[in-house]
Structure 1
Amino acid sequence: MNSPVFGEFFGTIVLIAFGSGVGCSTNLKGALGKAVGANWVYIAFGWGIAVMLGVFASGQFGSPGHLNPAVTIGFAVAGSFEWAQVLPFILAQIAGAFVGALIAAIHFWPHFQNTTVEEGNSVGIFATGPAIVNTPFNVISEVIATCFFVLAIQLMPAADIPPGVQPLILVFVVAGIGFSFGSTTGYAINPCRDFGPRLMYAIMPIPNKGGANWGYAWVPIVGPIIGACIATLLVKAVS
């Protein structure tokens, strides 16, 4: 089956199901990840593995494995992706992110039932938020993190890394970004990774849930798009 749009949908489901599972494991009462004291290294590598698995899954359907509206828009701005495909890709990515987050929520449903907001049942399980609320710098943090992420994606072919190995390298790219730039805003680096799960948490009847923090939701949308565009245009300018 060769359907890039479906590949983006399915790949994003895989990405977010695994990534949101990390959030559930580290925040919900009774989850073994939280019980053993899962830390930032656990989270960073967990999300790196989630990205790798999502890209592998999407490739089975002929998708380029963007799984990220910022990547899709950035490539289109730089002229390396067709604008006609941008909206279908983004809609598929958002839908996939919603479904992936819902899968994780269902898997951990009894833990949500036993976890209050004070004990960790917040939108932060699924979506990002700032460690220190400073909107201009929160945006800048997402711009910088996403710029380096997209630069890494673009430079892998130039480094003669075989296509089949590139998703594996992403594990370390995502983990490295988490270690270096993730502590300020949770490094969304992907609008649908934040928006789809945030929307799911807001509208589904998750037990004991808190608010969705919609006032912050635009930051992990705008910041990554700007960062991705900077990266793709920079590579285009020097290539």
Structure 2
Amino acid sequence: MSPFIAEITGTTILIVLGDGVVANVILSKTKGFNGGLISITVGWAMAVFVGVYVAAAASGAHLNPAVTIALAYAGKFDWSLVPQYIAAQMIGAMLGSLLVWLAYKQHFDETEDGDTKLGVFCTAPAKRNRMHNFLTELIGTFVFMFAVLSITKSSSSLGSLDALPVALVVLAIGLSLGGPTGYAINPARDLGPRIMHFLLPINNKRDSDWGYSWIPVVAPITGALLAAVVYNIVM
């Protein structure tokens, strides 16, 4: 499997399982309806575990543009490969969210609230304040990237044995920092599905909240870069 295909595959699995658990918890008349935050955070952690495990050997399992950019900045990844990795991550995120929509099509139709439908695809703040929302996403991604750098140490990529510790980091971030914004901590994870929400023929959907969309893209990249700078200084 080529690194490009591996990133598409890993990110697709990440979003199928991650957005899938959100759909199961918040859409009407599912078996998991009202499962709560714990179900979502555990589901996302397992999504990261499976996605990383599948892609690790072939691509290093970045699955996240913020990770790819921060590793390149830290000198652990070739800048010339950054565009194709980000393209693969976006394709995988869009494909994964399409599959979730297909799997839950009847429940999207049963759900009346447009905000709930959008929430399956992408994040939104519990309280809307651009400065605080940006800061929350920055902090969450800083913690995530600092942990990834500590786990990989001198390597430029994640191995299959790193899948579990990375998943546990995501679980911890979700439980501790997920309340204000939904912890995107991954530009592709948020933007790819948001684009699919805009494109798909979802009944009675609302707008795709483009006014907020830049925060879960720019803040994670900023947080990841800051983590790379601090890691190089203190470690």
TM-score > 0.5, shorter chain as reference? yes
State the one-letter code of the partner of 1:180: S
What is the deviation of 1:210? Answer: 2.0
% identical equivalent positions: 40
Residue of 129, 148, 153 corresponding to 1:134:
129
Whole-angstrom CA distance in 1 between matches of 2:145 and 2:102? 32
Number of the residue aligned with 2:212: 216
Aligned pairs for 1:80-95 within 5 A: 80-95=76-91
Number of the residue aligned with 1:234: 230
Q: Secondary structure at the match of 1:33?
A: coil
Whole-angstrom CA distance in 1 between matches of 2:4 and 2:25? 32
Whole-angstrom CA distance in 2 between matches of 1:4 and 1:198? 25
Residue of 144, 155, 162 corresponding to 2:139:
144
Number of the residue aligned with 1:156: 151
Residue pair 1:122, 1:211 contacting (<8 A) in 2 also: no
Higher mean C-alpha deviation, range 85-94 or range 171-180: 171-180
When the two chains are superposed, the root-mean-square deviation of aligned CA atoms in Å is: 1.5
Number of the residue aligned with 1:188: 184
Q: Secondary structure at the match of 2:101?
A: helix
- Structure 1 runs of 4+ aligned residues shifted over 6 Å read none
Residue pair 1:145, 1:187 contacting (<8 A) in 2 also: yes
TM-score normalised by structure 2 residue count: 0.94
Structure 1 residues 135 and 123: alpha-carbon distance in aligned structure 2, compared to 1, 3 A threshold: same
CA deviation vs aligned residue, 1:154-184 (integer Å, no higher than 9, x gap):
11245xxx94332112222111101111101
TM-score normalised by structure 1 residue count: 0.93
Alignment size in residue pairs: 231
Residue pair 1:121, 1:209 contacting (<8 A) in 2 also: no
Whole-angstrom CA distance in 2 between matches of 1:207 and 1:17? 21
Q: Does residue 161 of structure 2 align to residue 165 of structure 1? A: yes
